[in-house]
Amino acid sequence: IITFVNGGHLHLTIQDNGCGFDMNTVKQGKGLSTMKEHATQHNIMFHVDSHIGGGTRISASWRP
């Protein structure tokens, strides 16, 4: 977990070194899509990046 402030924005990154998943073929559930929807409603930039064998990184940034 990494947090920092830059340019008036708070940045949060959560990263693991797990098995990861293919972003193009993952079954769409409610977990990540709900997180992204809530983030958008609150003007939070939200990004998920994952690669098979390379872990997953979830990043969010917003102006506190």
Position 24 scores a pLDDT of 84
What is the model's pTM?
Answer: 0.83
Q: Is the pLDDT of residue 1 over 90?
A: yes
pLDDT, tens only, 17-42: 999 998 888 777 778 889 999 999 99
Position 6 scores a pLDDT of 97
- CATH class of the domain comprising 2-62: alpha beta
DSSP character for 36? H
Other CB atoms within 10 A of residue 60 CB = 19
**CA separation for the pair 5, 10 (Å, rounded):** 5
Query: By percentage, how much of the chain surpasses pLDDT 70?
Result: 100
Position 28 scores a pLDDT of 75
